[in-house]
Structure formats: structure tokens, C-alpha cells
Structure 1
Amino acid sequence: MSTTTRSPSVALPIDDRARAMAFYREAFGFEPLGEPAEDGVPEPLMFLIDQRTVLLLIPRGGFGWVLGDDRELARPGTSECLMGMAVADEREVDGLVERVRGAGGEVLAEPERKPWGYTALCADPDGHVWQVTVQP
């Protein structure tokens, strides 16, 4: 096994850089990395979401360019992955859900107890779905 540090990243396509930055700051409390560009948003727009994992938010045109000509982006509103976040307690789930609403996101499933924990489903303004859970 290599001793190289691995830093996973997740990249999601977005429609509006400023809106996405504001949403992730307000709803999740993530702070963008890097110096702001002329539009006031760092380029690339990325957030450190834990000690090693980076969330990159890439405008759809640039995202398509990275994927190449032979791959098509999913239409807005189509979920191809589910982002997950474990939090400490039920109050934190409830609070995050309210911040998502206030920041322009959508609550897809209100917080409730399921066999795998207390959980809710939310979407960012671009339709990317997050499951927030407190495990039992």
C-alpha cells in the first residue's frame, strides 16, 4: 500500500456560481477555498467538507468539457448520486433542513426516524440530493 495521501473529491455541475457558493455557505456552513475571482467567487469553486474531501462545483459547460464529447450530462433534476452527511444529533438534522430551506434549496423528505437512523433528504438549487442522517 502506498503512503501517498489520498484526497477524494466530488464534482457536481451547477448553473450559477454565486448562487451555489451562497447556498453551501448558508445551508451547510462550508467555506470556499481560494481567492475570489472577478465575480467574487473563487475559481475553481471548491469547499473542504471534511479533513480531506473536496467538493467542487463546476459550471455545466465546463463540467461537460471535462467529461468529453462522448458523454452527456444528466438533465437538471436527475439524480445520479446521493451525497450523504452524518451529523451528531437530531437537532442538527432539523437545523440543517431549515437552513436548506432558507438558502434556496428544497426539502425532499422531512426529517423522520427510519430503521437506519433519523434522516432527511434535501436538494441544493441545482437539484443535487443530500441525505442527512444521525445513525442510531
Structure 2
Amino acid sequence: MNVLVIDDDFINIKLVETFLKKHGGVSEIIKASNGLEALNTLTERSDIGLILLDIVMPVMNGLEFLDNVQVKEKIVNIPVIVLTTDETTKKEAFSKGATDFLTKPISEKLLFEKIGKFFK
């Protein structure tokens, strides 16, 4: 499965990428630094099976990204796991279509538990 990681923090992206490379079910890791860049990637590619989404980002934050995903038929069914330090956004993220939620700093074990549900 191809995974899109959306985060504006280079260190967070590197950490998640390191974890994902150890997971046997991940084929490719695609990176975006904000919600707008991610939406552009999703319109160009139809092979993304999972999205890992930060909330606090410039240009378009994670909640705005979720709003935009909901109106795009082609990408609305891609599971989205929110990765954030802001626990207060959990309820809003779920109401906007997030599939799951992980609080940073994330652990490899918890990430694998969350993404394991989406691998067939």
C-alpha cells in the first residue's frame, strides 16, 4: 500500500518514514508539507491507500484538508489517521472524516497497530 504522509515538520516526516519503511505492507511513502500540496498529490495519483495527517500546518491545515477531502468523491474513502500534538482537535477531526487518531510523539508499535487495520 502507498502511504501519503502530510506534515510540515521535517523531523516528524523522517520519523514516520523510518517507521513505515520497517512495515512490510508499505510500498511507497509519498510526502506533502501541507494540506494543499497533499490535495494536489491526491488528484494526480489514484494509488494512495492511506493518509497520515498532521493538523497544525501552514497554507492549509489538517482540518481544512479534511473538509476538502469530504467533497472530492475520488479520495473521500481513503482512510486518514491524524497524527498531532493537539488532543483538542480529536473530536473535530473525527467529525470531518478522520478514521483514527494518534498523539505525537508517536511510537512505532502504536503506529503499526493503527495502520494494521487497513492492510488486507
TM-score band by shorter chain is 0.3 to 0.5
> TM-score normalised to the size of structure 2?
0.34
- Structure of higher CA gyration radius: 1
> TM-score normalised to the size of structure 1?
0.31
User: Structure 1 or 2: larger helix share?
Assistant: 2
